[in-house]
């Protein structure tokens, strides 16, 4: 088990978005979350790394425990460091959003942060190459690592966003409709990548496509009427 | 029909504006005589010796050009950190009430006539004189730079605030998701992302500092002082030189100097606008080149 959610309620501007959600998410599996637009799929992801705290008028009740650094952590505990929690629970958005800097610097970014683990520059270069290989992007960009990340195609940018989240060594990686804005070929590449990544991370993915969920997920959660149902 | 009328009105406005601009620039160029020549800038002095401050310039515009650049630098040294800092505070940290108060204050400051800002600088100088019994710093580059910084601070603050606020919400959250603190997000993502937008506004503010007369005439600009030795001395500046010479000239050659100074001042402002445009293009190209 990687995450245990108990009786989670979430309110935005005093309106119930999620109601009495209790779930268990298994380690090193791909868990897909589906539901109609506005059902609260992304909100559920935002609860898992407390991203909702970046928005005003949000209220959360219940508990979420994540198994991070080999121990169970109550993530709503105020003593839990937010930067650490967010490094351990990575999130990739629907639209790729590279930083306005080079491909290499995008991947170097997490190490520039104060909370980042210290790493020697020689090891850093290796780390960047390894991560790019992991997301099957290295061969495509090896000759232009110093070029702006915005020069990449949509699919490449999305893989770069995943690589940037991965380089911070998360134990859980969440993806909010990662392939919805991509062409079928890029979609296939990301699906292959996710299947490989589950060996080292627990993956939670929001998707609207039932075909995609059937193809790659081990578990499927549906959000309906503000609550969640584990389908398999 | 309405669309066609609107189109003609737009064309007419454009033609009117352009013809005024062309007439104005042509008139200045016709009236001026070799404004970029050695004698116009350095008079009878040796240019290199004058630039090295080994020889004073009595009949050229060099002291006024140097003074103009000195007040630009002094005012920007105050206005850039204060303005960007205020913009960052407004965009990222201010609570609702503080935002409303500070934002209104900045809007009022932006609407103040420059002569009032000059008067503010003048009153500060009088206050310092009173406190230090006439021995403290008075009319000088420092006083003008300080006062001018208040003139342009609202532009820099508002443009920084607007640039930061316009950042895509997903990009704004991405650094946070990687574990960045608020200050790291501002320093590493938001400011670099909006750098060109902020910088181009700063350059426009520089041009505003270069051309203002009301503030400097009340705080330290004089007709003849040569190049100041430090920032606590009086100085000459192109806008004040133009105002003073054109209103008090005693010969045609003095009026000619005013026209030459006008062309030089317009050229400095044009140079700053072109620089602002080029920086914007360069940063855009750097972020988007294929």
Asked if B85 and B161 count as a contact pair (C-beta separation under 8 A), the reply is no
A101, A114, A151: residue with CB nearest B184 = A114
pLDDT score of A102 more than 70: yes
Is B176 in contact with A100 (Cβ distance < 8 A)?
no
A101, A116, A148: residue with CB nearest B288 = A148
What is the biggest distance separating any 2 CA atoms in chain B, rounded to whole angstroms?
Answer: 72
CA distance B95 to chain A (A): 12
Q: pLDDT for A150-190, tens place per residue?
A: 888 888 888 888 888 888 888 898 988 878 777 787 778 87
Give phi and psi for B224, each to the nearest 5.
Answer: -140, 110
Is A93 in contact with B170 (Cβ distance < 8 A)?
yes
Residue the block writes with tokens 């902020």: B198
Mean per-residue pLDDT of chain A = 84
A84 touches B at CB < 8 Å: yes
Chain A positions touching B191 (Cβ under 8 A) are none
SS (H, E, C) chain B: CHHHHHHHHHHHHHHHHHHHHHHHHHHHHHHCCCCCCHHHHHCCCCHHHHHCCCCCCCCCCHHHHHHHHHHHHHHHHHHHHHHHHHHHHHHHHCCHHHHHHHHHHHHHHHHCCHHHHHHHHHHHHHHHHHHCCCCCCCCCHHHHHHHHHHHHHHHHHHHHHHHHHCCCHHHHHHHHHCCCCHHHHHHHHHHHHCHHHHHHHHHHHHHHHHHCCHHHHHHCECCCCCCCCCCCCCECCHHHHHHHHHHHCCCHHHHHHHHHHHHHHHHHHHHHHHHHHHHHHHHHHHHHCC
Chain B positions touching A150 (Cβ under 8 A) are 287-288
How much of chain A, in percent, has pLDDT values that exceed 70?
Answer: 96
Burial degree of B230 (CB within 10 A; 0-12, 13-18, 19+): exposed
A6 touches B at CB < 8 Å: no
For an interface test with B, the pick among A46, A49, A82, A83 (most B C-beta atoms closer than 10 Å) comes out as: A83
Is B179 in contact with A84 (Cβ distance < 8 A)?
yes
SS (H, E, C) B263-285: HHHHHHHHHHHHHHHHHHHHHHH
pLDDT value, residue B153: 93
DSSP string, chain A: --EEEEEEEEEETTEEEEEEEEEEE-TTSEEEEE-STTSSHHHHHHHHTTGGGGSSSEEEEEEEEEEETTEEEETT-TTS-HHHHHHHEEEE-SS----SSBHHHHHHHHHHSTTSPP--HHHHHHHHHHHHHHTT-HHHHGGGTTSBGGGS-HHHHHHHHHHHHHHT--SEEEEESTTTTS-HHHHHHHHHHHHHHTTTSEEEEE-S-HHHHHHH-SEEEEEETTEEEE--
β A58-68/A71-74 pair status: antiparallel
A95, A150, A164: residue with CB nearest B178 = A164
CA distance B206 to chain A (A): 26
Averaged pLDDT for residues A10-27: 87
Is B290 in contact with A151 (Cβ distance < 8 A)?
yes
pTM of the model: 0.79
Is A100 in contact with B192 (Cβ distance < 8 A)?
yes
pLDDT value, residue B168: 85
Is B177 in contact with A151 (Cβ distance < 8 A)?
no
B168, B171, B179: residue with CB nearest A168 = B179
A153 touches B at CB < 8 Å: no
Return the residue of A nearest to B192 by Cα.
A100
A154 touches B at CB < 8 Å: no
β A227-230/A219-224 pair status: antiparallel
Return the residue of B nearest to A81 by Cα.
B179
Two tokens, residue A73: 């952590």
Return the residue of A nearest to B289 by Cα.
A151
A86 touches B at CB < 8 Å: yes
pLDDT value, residue A73: 86
Euclidean distance between CA atoms A127 and A147, whole angstroms: 18
Tens place of pLDDT per residue across chain B (290 aa): 778 888 899 999 999 999 999 998 898 888 888 888 888 888 888 888 888 888 888 888 899 999 999 999 999 999 999 999 999 999 999 988 999 999 999 999 999 999 999 999 999 999 988 888 777 778 889 999 999 999 999 999 999 999 999 888 888 888 888 888 888 889 888 998 888 888 888 888 888 888 888 898 899 888 888 888 888 888 889 999 999 988 888 888 888 889 999 999 999 888 888 887 887 777 766 665 54
A83, A100, A101: residue with CB nearest B179 = A83
Q: How many CB pairs under 8 A join A and B?
A: 74
Is B193 in contact with A97 (Cβ distance < 8 A)?
no
CA distance A163 to chain B (A): 12
pLDDT score of A114 more than 80: no
Is A91 in contact with B177 (Cβ distance < 8 A)?
yes
Chain B positions touching A100 (Cβ under 8 A) are 189, 192-193, 287
A82, A87, A150: residue with CB nearest B288 = A150
Instruction: Look at residues A214, A208, A164 and name the one whose alpha carbon lies nearest to residue A30.
Output: A214
Euclidean distance between CA atoms B35 and A231, whole angstroms: 82
Is B179 in contact with A115 (Cβ distance < 8 A)?
yes
Chain B positions touching A161 (Cβ under 8 A) are 174
Is B177 in contact with A90 (Cβ distance < 8 A)?
yes
pLDDT value, residue B290: 44
Query: Order of strands, edge to edge, in the sheet holding A58-68?
Result: A15-25, A3-12, A58-68, A71-74
């Amino acid at each position: 088990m990687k995450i245990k959610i108990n009786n989670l309620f979430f309110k935005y501007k005093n309106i119930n978005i999620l109601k009495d959600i209790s779930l268990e998410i298994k380690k090193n599996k791909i868990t897909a979350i589906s539901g109609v637009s506005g059902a609260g799929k992304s909100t559920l992801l935002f609860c898992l790394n407390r991203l909702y705290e970046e928005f005003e008028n949000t209220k959360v009740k219940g508990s979420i425990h994540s198994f991070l650094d080999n121990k169970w952590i109550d993530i709503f505990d105020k003593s839990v460091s937010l930067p650490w929690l967010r490094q351990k629970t990575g999130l990739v958005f629907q639209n790729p959003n590279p930083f306005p800097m080079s491909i290499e610097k995008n991947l170097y970014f997490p190490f520039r942060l104060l909370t980042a683990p210290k790493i020697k520059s020689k090891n850093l270069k290796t780390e960047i190459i390894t991560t790019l290989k992991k997301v099957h992007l290295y061969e495509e960009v090896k000759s232009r690592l110093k070029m702006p990340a915005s020069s990449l195609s949509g699919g490449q940018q999305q893989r770069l966003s995943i690589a940037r989240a991965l380089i911070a060594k998360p134990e859980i990686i969440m993806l909010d409709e990662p392939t919805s804005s991509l062409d079928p070929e890029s979609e296939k590449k990301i699906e292959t990548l996710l299947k490989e990544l589950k060996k080292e991370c627990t993956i939670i993915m929001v998707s609207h496509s039932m075909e995609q969920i059937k193809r790659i997920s081990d578990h499927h959660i549906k959000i309906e009427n503000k609550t969640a149902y584990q389908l398999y | 029909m309405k669309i066609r009328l609107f189109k003609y009105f737009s064309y007419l406005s454009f033609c009117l504006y352009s013809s005024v601009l062309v007439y104005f620039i042509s008139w200045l160029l016709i009236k001026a005589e070799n404004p970029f020549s050695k004698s116009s800038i350095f008079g009878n002095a040796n240019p290199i010796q004058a630039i090295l401050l080994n020889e004073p310039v009595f009949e050229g515009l060099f002291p006024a050009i140097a003074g103009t650049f000195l007040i630009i630098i002094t005012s920007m040294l105050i206005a850039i950190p204060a303005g960007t800092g205020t913009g960052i505070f407004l965009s990222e940290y201010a609570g609702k009430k503080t935002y409303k108060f500070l934002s209104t204050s900045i809007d009022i400051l932006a609407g103040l006539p420059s002569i009032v800002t000059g008067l503010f600088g003048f009153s500060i100088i009088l206050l310092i004189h009173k406190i230090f019994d006439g021995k403290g710093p008075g009319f000088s580059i420092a006083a003008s730079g300080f006062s001018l910084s208040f003139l342009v601070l609202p532009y820099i603050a508002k443009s920084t605030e607007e640039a930061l606020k316009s950042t895509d919400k997903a990009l704004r959250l991405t650094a946070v998701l990687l574990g960045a603190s608020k200050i790291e997000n501002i320093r590493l993502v938001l400011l670099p992302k909006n750098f060109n937008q902020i910088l181009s506004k700063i350059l426009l503010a520089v041009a505003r500092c270069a051309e203002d007369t009301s503030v400097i005439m009340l705080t330290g600009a004089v007709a003849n002082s040569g190049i100041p030795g430090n920032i606590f001395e009086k100085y000459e500046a192109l806008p004040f030189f133009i105002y003073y010479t054109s209103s008090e000239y005693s010969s045609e050659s003095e009026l000619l100097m005013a026209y030459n100074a006008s062309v030089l001042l317009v050229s400095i402002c044009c140079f700053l606008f072109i620089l602002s445009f080029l920086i914007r293009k360069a940063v855009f190209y750097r972020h988007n080149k294929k």
